[in-house]
């Protein structure tokens, strides 16, 4: 068996090894049924128990109140870029957006197709190297909600405190959900593609306040209504069964390892180790401003693109994979989500010191 590498990929990303071990067994024979979890009917009591348990664990970990629905949907976060405004913006209202990176730009583009949009703030002019403070922008009175991406994977920036503008918040938390405690009551809707910090690709989690389920216009097709999926317990159509099962295994792992509070402590420790070398070195240049730096995705550049290519290749030879930055900005990106071990960050820092000594 090939030794496991340290996987810095931004998504799909590293998963807890114990969750992978359990899944490898259940793929072949789930709970003695004589068939694997991917073969179990989504209408069976066995699979319904999988969904109910995953929802219960997610509610416990994030302290989700009962007046919020939890949905397991398909289509990725990209479908939510359109689904959220289609369901939530009333005819006389608009959506306010904070443009802090590629994924917020895509969300704005989709929202503009179906509704009026205010771009209340944009950091594009500075290369998306920061997120705004509350005093950096104003939100129009007729905005239904304020939308933001809590963590920007490509640019390595993160909201360390959430916006406070007396507006309902909507957030794409695909890359940092479950990495820290959050006050759900501040949000009307949270969504997250699972493949970065919660499970494999294929399922998107939506947490929505139940009173918002009736906001959709009568012209909206059935499948695109949040209420449809809430009323059917995410079983309106065949859900992404295996992905939901895997999310459940990851949630168990988080519970067994101290919950989101413990995840936050570990994530801060990992990021601190890596940022320590970045801010001490003149060889490595962090992309994000220090006040906005992400604890999930650490982005930086070397003096030349040639050195960056050498860094990525030599790192891979040392069992450190997935470090190539996004094609839009290049450089290096180390994604250190919940399941990524502290030991992997320490190994990367050792490699960085050796690389700088050799080529700096």
* 8 vs 297: CA distance, rounded Å: 9
User: 151 with 296: CB under 8 angstroms?
Assistant: yes
Count Cβ atoms within 10 A of the Cβ of residue 71 and give its class: 0-12 exposed, 13-18 middle, 19 or more buried.
buried
| Whether 67 is catalytic | no
* 187 vs 202: CA distance, rounded Å: 24
* 295 vs 268: CA distance, rounded Å: 6
C-alpha atoms less than 13 angstroms from C-alpha of 28 in its C-beta half-sphere: 4
| Whether 103 is catalytic | yes
Indicate the Cα dihedral angle 68, 74, 79, 85, nearest 10°. Answer: -20
Choice among 26, 94, 103, 105 that is catalytic = 103
Alpha carbon distances (Å) from 356 to 222, 269, 278, 306, 318: 57, 23, 11, 14, 15
SS3 287: coil
Phi, psi (degrees; rounded to nearest 5) at 283: -80, -40
Choice among 105, 196, 270, 324 that is catalytic = 196
* 224 vs 79: CA distance, rounded Å: 9
Other C-beta atoms within 10 Å of 4: how many?
10
* 145 vs 12: CA distance, rounded Å: 30
Q: Which two tokens stand for residue 36?
A: 């694997």
Q: Give the residue from 274, 334, 289, 327 showing the smallest Cα distance to 305.
A: 327
SS3 180: coil
| Whether 94 is catalytic | no
Q: Which two tokens stand for residue 166?
A: 């007396």
* 213 vs 206: CA distance, rounded Å: 12
Q: Give the residue from 63, 82, 65, 62 showing the smallest Cα distance to 73.
A: 82
Choice among 172, 227, 270, 324 that is catalytic = 172
Q: Which two tokens stand for residue 201?
A: 């690709």
Catalytic residues: 103, 172, 196
């Amino acid at each position: 068996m090939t030794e496991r590498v340290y996987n810095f990929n931004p998504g799909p990303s590293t998963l807890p090894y114990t969750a992978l071990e359990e899944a490898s067994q259940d793929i072949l024979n789930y709970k003695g049924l004589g068939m694997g979890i991917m073969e179990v009917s989504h209408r069976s009591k066995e699979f319904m128990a999988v969904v109910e348990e995953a929802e219960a664990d997610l509610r416990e970990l994030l302290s989700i109140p009962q007046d919020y629905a939890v949905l397991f949907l398909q289509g990725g976060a990209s479908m939510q870029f359109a689904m959220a405004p289609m369901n939530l913006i009333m005819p006389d209202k608009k959506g306010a957006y904070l443009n802090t990176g590629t994924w917020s730009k895509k969300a704005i583009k989709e929202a503009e197709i179906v509704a009026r949009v205010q771009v209340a703030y944009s950091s594009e002019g500075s290369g998306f190297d920061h997120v705004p403070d509350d005093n950096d922008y104003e939100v129009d009175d007729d905005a239904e909600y304020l939308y933001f991406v809590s963590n920007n994977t490509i640019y390595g920036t993160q909201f360390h405190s959430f916006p406070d503008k007396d507006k309902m918040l909507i957030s794409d938390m695909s890359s940092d959900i479950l990495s820290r405690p959050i006050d759900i009551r501040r949000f009307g809707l949270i969504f997250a593609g699972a493949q970065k910090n919660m499970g494999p690709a294929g399922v998107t989690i939506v947490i929505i306040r139940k009173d918002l389920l009736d906001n959709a216009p009568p012209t909206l097709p059935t499948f695109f209504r949040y209420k449809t999926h809430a009323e059917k317990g995410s079983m309106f159509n065949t859900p992404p069964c295996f992905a939901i099962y895997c999310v459940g295994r990851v949630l168990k792992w988080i519970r067994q390892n101290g919950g989101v509070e413990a995840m936050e402590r570990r994530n801060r420790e990992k990021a601190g180790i890596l940022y320590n070398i970045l801010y001490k070195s003149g060889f490595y240049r962090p992309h994000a401003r220090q006040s906005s730096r992400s604890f999930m995705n650490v982005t930086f550049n070397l003096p030349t693109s040639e050195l960056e290519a050498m860094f990525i290749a030599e790192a891979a030879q040392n069992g450190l994979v997935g470090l190539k930055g996004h094609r839009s900005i290049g450089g290096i990106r180390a994604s250190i989500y919940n399941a990524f071990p502290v030991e992997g960050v320490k190994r990367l820092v050792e490699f960085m010191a050796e690389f700088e000594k050799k080529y700096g």
